Structure 1
Amino acid sequence: MTIEIDNLRIRFGEREVVKGVSFQVEEGGSFGVVGESGSGKSTVLRAMAGLNTSWLGRIAFNGEDAPQHRTPDFFRKVQMVFQDPYGSLHPRQTIDRILSELPLVHRMGDIDRRIASALSDVALPQSARFRYPHQLSGGQRQRVAIARALIAEPKILLLDEPTSALDVSVQAEILNLLSDLRTERKLTYVMVSHNLGVIAHLCTRVGVMIDGHMVEQLTADDLRRGNVTHPHTRELRRLSVEFEEAEPA
């Protein structure tokens, strides 16, 4: 599915927090939104996911305008993975119950097979099925969160800082998993993060936000090479150890 965001504006009371943001993502593409805390990046993602219904502008999927209040069919096609894998999973439900919820809501058949397949897709053992979230590591919990999103067989994944709560070594595993899943399933991704290295690892195009504005869009390759135009992008890159080390001598 393609994504079109045109002149998106979002207010919280008197304060405008997203100020005319526009970007497009081709089918099977990956677009990263990077910015500091408070830049508006997660607010954009929540509006796209249908979690924030107070917005102006255009949000369209496959050329069709998304209504303020989304249909159940929308939530099969567009799924979101949140930042905190422990907070997003019900602590008193087994992984089996967590993964069965969406298929039950959408009256999808063959739930046992779907759960087993979802666990396999994210490289979790079948024994994890009857454990509780607190019995799993942070990386395993995030794999469950990804499995829960995949079980609906969506076309788009919206990723809200999906690795920021994880150790660096685990971050790489989750990013590689997400990259493989996008290729295998021809998924379209939009990911937000404050981390340039994470964004450049998974996304081919990047939008840079500050104070509600998207001030620059560029390829991940140009970001790595330092081919940037906006001072804020240059500053973010300077503050990133990974990109500083990549600077030519």
Structure 2
Amino acid sequence: MIDVDRLRVSFGDKEVVKGVSFRVPAGECFGLVGESGSGKSTVLRALSGLNGAWSGRIAVAGAEVGPKRHRAFFRKVQMVFQDPYGSLHPRQTIDRILSEPLLVHGLGDVERRVAATLAEVALPAAVRFRFPHQLSGGQRQRVAIARALIAEPEVLLLDEPTSALDVSVQAEILNLLADLRRQRRLTYVLVSHNLAVVAHLCARIGVMLGGEMVEELSAEDLRAGRAQHPHTRELRTLSVGLEEV
């Protein structure tokens, strides 16, 4: 479903992503993990079409894409951001936030789709005509996930989707994302600094350091301590709760 080959991204004279390559089969989740500044979110932004200053090759569902994307791409690929409060329009109701993608993509049956998608992310119908500030952080992130889902994409790009949430809510959102991937047969690329979060959702993991992918390994090998690169082993040592995932 996703094929990234020798991706490079520069900001001015500084190269921040240095020849990263990975592939994600349809229906699977691939995790990108690393410290702040490692380049993982920059990879995701290039993949999503939010950053056009890249070179290399990106293909989605067998079709190569360039820096500028057509509307059909955004029907197929959607992104969930780290901060749900910052990514939702503060002066729009949840109904408007969810209806807008349907209007943009020319999809009908708005009433049914909005109601069904709210139910799918386990939000009560009562939130539909509220504003983002009237919801909890976990509810706002569920709205952000619903917005990404409502146009029925095939790929979700997840940029630290739980890091802005209380610890008690993080597991609920991760379990929701896992259930949605199975039910809808979605393909995920998940970016996080938290190895336990990535291992919970993803079968394979790429470890970023200084703009390079220094290791790619399975979640099973990560949990078992079979990492090869010193940085992966260091991240694993610092990760809390990895063995329980």
- Name the TM-score, length of structure 1 as normaliser: 0.97
State the distance in 2 between where 1:213 and 1:101 align: 37
1:95 is matched with 94
Following TM superposition, by how much is the alpha carbon of 1:57 offset from its aligned partner in structure 2, in angstroms?
A: 0.3
State the distance in 2 between where 1:241 and 1:132 align: 35
Following TM superposition, by how much is the alpha carbon of 1:127 offset from its aligned partner in structure 2, in angstroms?
A: 0.6
State the distance in 2 between where 1:87 and 1:68 align: 25
2:5 is matched with 6
Alignment of 1:36-185 (within 5 A): 36-185=35-184
Aligned amino acid, residue 169 of structure 1 = S
Following TM superposition, by how much is the alpha carbon of 1:242 offset from its aligned partner in structure 2, in angstroms?
A: 1.9
State the distance in 2 between where 1:111 and 1:23 align: 37
Aligned amino acid, residue 124 of structure 2 = P
Alignment of 1:206-225 (within 5 A): 206-225=205-224
Instruction: Report the more deviating stretch, 234-243 or 9-18.
Output: 234-243
State the distance in 2 between where 1:182 and 1:116 align: 20
Aligned amino acid, residue 223 of structure 1 = L
Following TM superposition, by how much is the alpha carbon of 1:126 offset from its aligned partner in structure 2, in angstroms?
A: 0.6
State the distance in 2 between where 1:108 and 1:62 align: 22
Following TM superposition, by how much is the alpha carbon of 1:106 offset from its aligned partner in structure 2, in angstroms?
A: 1.1
Gaps of 5+ in 2: none
2:238 is matched with 239
Task: Say which SS state the counterpart of residue 198 (structure 2) adopts.
Answer: helix
Aligned amino acid, residue 33 of structure 2 = V
Task: Say which SS state the counterpart of residue 5 (structure 2) adopts.
Answer: strand
Task: Say which SS state the counterpart of residue 229 (structure 1) adopts.
Answer: coil
What is the CA RMSD across the aligned residues, in angstroms?
A: 0.8
Following TM superposition, by how much is the alpha carbon of 1:107 offset from its aligned partner in structure 2, in angstroms?
A: 1.3
Residue deviations 1:152-184 (CA, integer Å, cap 9, x gap)? 100000000000001111000000000000000
Task: Say which SS state the counterpart of residue 32 (structure 1) adopts.
Answer: strand
State the distance in 2 between where 1:44 and 1:29 align: 18
Number of residues paired by the alignment? 244
Gaps of 5+ in 1: none
- Name the TM-score, length of structure 2 as normaliser: 0.98
Following TM superposition, by how much is the alpha carbon of 1:64 offset from its aligned partner in structure 2, in angstroms?
A: 1.3
Task: Say which SS state the counterpart of residue 238 (structure 1) adopts.
Answer: helix
Residue deviations 1:108-154 (CA, integer Å, cap 9, x gap)? 10111110011001000011000000000000000000000000100
Task: Say which SS state the counterpart of residue 58 (structure 2) adopts.
Answer: strand
State the distance in 1 between where 2:184 and 2:13 align: 42
Aligned amino acid, residue 135 of structure 1 = Q
State the distance in 2 between where 1:114 and 1:242 align: 37
4+ residue segments displaced more than 4 Å? none
Task: Say which SS state the counterpart of residue 89 (structure 2) adopts.
Answer: coil
State the distance in 2 between where 1:241 and 1:176 align: 18
Task: Say which SS state the counterpart of residue 174 (structure 1) adopts.
Answer: helix
Task: Say which SS state the counterpart of residue 7 (structure 2) adopts.
Answer: strand
State the distance in 2 between where 1:85 and 1:202 align: 20
1:204 is matched with 203
State the distance in 1 between where 2:180 and 2:159 align: 17
Task: Say which SS state the counterpart of residue 87 (structure 2) adopts.
Answer: coil
State the distance in 1 between where 2:217 and 2:57 align: 22
Task: Say which SS state the counterpart of residue 86 (structure 1) adopts.
Answer: helix
Aligned amino acid, residue 28 of structure 1 = G
Following TM superposition, by how much is the alpha carbon of 1:241 offset from its aligned partner in structure 2, in angstroms?
A: 2.4
Task: Say which SS state the counterpart of residue 98 (structure 2) adopts.
Answer: helix
Following TM superposition, by how much is the alpha carbon of 1:62 offset from its aligned partner in structure 2, in angstroms?
A: 1.7
